[in-house]
Amino acid sequence: MLFTHHSHSGEFCTHATSSLEEVVLAAIARGMTSIALTEHMPREVEDHYPGEAELPILQGRDLFALFEAYHSEAERLRAAYSDRIHILIGFEAEWIRPDTLRIIRDLQRRYQFDMFVGSVHHVHTHPVDFDDDTLNKAREASGGSDAHLAAAYFDSQLEMLQALKPPVVGHFDLIRLKVLSENRDRDWRHWEEGVWDRIVRNLKFVREYGGLVEVNSAALRKGLADVYPRREIMQEWASMGGKLTLSDDSHGVDQLCTHYTQALDCVKKAGIKELSYLVASEERALTIQSVDIEQVRERLK
């Protein structure tokens, strides 16, 4: 088995490349057995990233119209290629402000999905993975230190988890990406402000409702020393009996399965031997299946 539970395309994501069909065809050519299409949920104008509204992809339409076009194309592609690859249709949820929940519920009423990824990209409404300026605003709003920022991030994550209970939890410790360099690869158990306790609390909640935590290889692509989440989080999660899945968080065909070999090495070093993946029936009922990490590695050759 070779799969990703988190992907984007330049056709429907403002910071990606490749059409959605190109992504699916590249996944097939790569020998992937399953791909989850998870374009970002639409955001209100006040939550656009700096310069986003001026991008060609949004001329004449907003993010909501873009998402509608995405869902229609995803359904077409699944019908066209279901005999060659298992396609899950989903989205990546955001957690920005209280009104975000209304948007998510509206999407779930309007469209049919197999699954979705629950992620946090904002703290106190400021993006934490976009640039240093917005990260600094989030840090100051949290109390001024990286530890305060991380504590606020994991508190926001808990709010998202409690409200949504996502089948897949996206890039669990994304907050590492743009903090001070000395903290990016720091063991979470040594952070101040009760950060580790918050991490364990959140993991326990995901375990209670049966969600998957993704091993996200994009952390390696972006220069971090370990995947999202770091080894100590994976080990804590495994000690609870929690299941990990695998994602590339690709933003175009060139990023499909990137750093998967290294990601599998990270999983193995954490003492974990199996990964899980989602399978959707024609009625959109989800089941979780498992595979040995060495079988995944074999498909990469």
* pLDDT score recorded for residue 124: 98
Give the residue carrying structure tokens 């971090």. 224
For CA atoms 169, 171, 176, 179, give the dihedral sign. negative
> In which residue are the tokens 């399978």 written?
279
Of the candidates 151, 143, 146, the one whose C-alpha atom is nearest the C-alpha of residue 194 is 151
Query: CATH number, domain at 250?
Result: 3.20.20.140
Of the pLDDT bands very low, low, confident and very high (cuts 50, 70, 90), residue 98 is: confident
pTM over 0.85: yes
Average of per-residue pLDDT values in the chain: 97
- pLDDT of 53 > 90? The answer is no
Mean pLDDT of 260-289: 96
CA distance 62 to 156: 26
For 76, the token pair is 């077409």
* Interatomic CA distance for residues 153 and 283, integer angstroms: 35
3-state secondary structure of 86: strand
**In angstroms, rounded to a whole number, what is the distance separating the alpha carbons of residues 261 and 248?**
11
Residue 60's Cβ-count burial label (10 Å; 0-12, 13-18, 19+) is exposed
- Choice among 151-160, 249-258, 279-288 with the minimum mean pLDDT: 279-288
Amino acid identity of residue 220, one-letter, is L
Q: What percent of the chain has pLDDT over 70?
A: 100
Residue 157 and residue 150 in contact, taking contact as beta carbons nearer than 8 Å: no
Domain tally, the chain: 1
- Angstrom distances, CA of residue 93 to CA of 75, 103, 276: 19, 10, 21
| Average pLDDT for 22-43 | 98
Would you say residue 283 has pLDDT above 90?
Answer: no
pLDDT of residue 196: 99
Strand, coil or helix: 7? strand
Check residue 208 and give its pLDDT.
Answer: 99
CB 256 within 8 A of CB 246: no
Q: The domain containing residue 25 runs over which residues? A: 3-299
Q: How does pLDDT run across 168-198, given as a tens digit for each residue?
A: 999 999 999 999 999 999 999 999 999 999 9
Residues facing residue 84 across a β-bridge: none
Please state the rounded mean pLDDT for residues 254-279: 98
CA–CA separation, 3 and 14 (whole Å): 24
- Distance between CA atoms of 300 and 113, rounded to whole angstroms? 28
At 110, the pLDDT band (50, 70, 90 cuts) reads: very high
Higher pLDDT, 282 or 222: 222
Coil/strand/helix, residue 270:
coil
The C-alpha atoms of residue 94 and residue 75 are separated, in whole angstroms, by: 22
